[in-house]
Amino acid sequence: MLASVIIGTILFIVALVIYLEYRNEKKYRQERLKRESTKRKPKKPEAKVSKRPAATKAPEETPQKAQKPSKTQPKTVKTEEPAKTVTPPKTPDVPAEETKPEAVVQEVKETPKPAPKPEPQKEQPATELPKGDYPDFNYDRLIEMGLSEEEAMEFIQELIPQIGDQIPLIDEAMKIPDFHKMERLTHSIKGSSTTIGTGGVSDLLVDYNTYLKTGEELPVAEAYQEHLKRYFEKLKKQFPPKK
């Protein structure tokens, strides 16, 4: 009777793990299709902003010079009457008040303008790296589902080599770098770890995989990878294999 109950419990857990993995994989495919459809949409051409030409100053009015008599004027025929002398037209008198602004403008133009001081370059904010501060890994979720301590430990011992096999593959994808492949590799071990427990490597993989879906900054990915290796070693020390 006890053996049948244990076998039924194990079958229920296996079915639950398969269902959760299927649901996560289906959600992952839907998000991937949405991301690919958004990339295929043509970008709208940006409207070019035409720079307006700088306003040109109106030419300054200069006082009109006295017009000289044209050389092509017809010669006067001499007659007995005395010749009349032609006097050139007088230039209009410019009042003294009107000449003052022009003199001020000329003086302003002649004075050289001071060169503008170069603006100090603003320092770009540094990329914020993940801190990697997570609580210890625990398997209370399996205990709540009805498994014993020994059965929970068996699941954890199966999870440890899965993570160990994926870490070198993620390192190779990071050298390219191929963020899509890194996201796919972390997704596979994220589903297994979150099904078994919470905290530690499980919470780290959730944040790591979530960032790789949209982020493409290599320093951030490298920081997550270092945290993954550190929490993986911590998981092996916390749950060593039985001799």
Q: pLDDT tens for residues 199-240?
A: 999 999 999 999 999 999 999 999 999 999 999 999 999 999
pLDDT at 68 > cutoff 70: no
Kindly tell me if the per-residue pLDDT of 82 is higher than 60.
Answer: no
Q: Which residue has the higher pLDDT, 113 or 35?
A: 35
Residues 186, 209: contact at Cβ < 8 Å?
Answer: yes
Give the residue among 223, 210, 47 at the shortest CA–CA distance from 131: 223
Q: What is the pLDDT, as a whole number, of residue 83?
A: 53
Distance between CA atoms of residues 94 and 64, nearest Å: 10
What is the pLDDT confidence band of residue 91, given thresholds at 50, 70 and 90?
A: low
For residue 201, the model assigns a pLDDT of 96
In whole angstroms, give the CA distance from residue 78 to residue 193. Answer: 124
How do residues 100-142 score in pLDDT, each as one tens digit? 444 444 444 555 666 666 666 656 556 789 998 999 999 998 9
pLDDT of residue 84: 55
Give the pLDDT confidence score for residue 39 in this predicted structure.
67
Instruction: Of 153, 131, 136, give the one whose Cα is nearest residue 234.
Output: 136
- State how far the Cα of 183 lies from the Cα of 208, in Å rounded to an integer: 8
- How high is the mean pLDDT of the chain? 77
Position 171: which residue type? D
Domains and CATH numbers, the chain: 136-238 (1.20.120.160)
Residue 88 has a pLDDT of 55
Q: Which of 233, 224, 232, 227 is nearest to 174 (CA)?
A: 224
Residue 224: what pLDDT? 97
List the beta strands (DSSP E) in the chain. Answer: none
Closest-CA residue to 184 (of 38, 31, 34) = 31
The whole-number pLDDT of residue 236 equals 94
- In terms of C-beta distances under 8 Å and separation of at least 24 residues, what long-range contacts does 129-135 make, across chains too? 129/219, 129/220, 129/223, 130/207, 130/211, 130/220, 130/223, 130/224, 130/227, 132/204, 132/223, 132/224, 132/226, 132/227, 132/230, 132/231, 134/199, 134/200, 134/203, 134/204, 134/231, 135/199, 135/200, 135/203
Quote the pTM value.
0.50
Which of 164 and 91 is assigned the larger pLDDT?
Answer: 164
Q: How confident is the model at residue 87 (pLDDT cuts 50, 70, 90)?
A: low
Per the DSSP assignment, residues forming a β-bridge with 94 are none
105 vs 163, more confident: 163
Cα separation, 21 vs 191, in Å, equals 6
pLDDT of residue 215: 93
Q: Measured between alpha carbons, how far is 139 from 153 in angstroms, rounded to an integer?
A: 9
Q: Which residues contact 191 (CB under 8 A, 6 or more apart)?
A: 20, 21, 24, 25
Give me the pLDDT at residue 139, please: 92
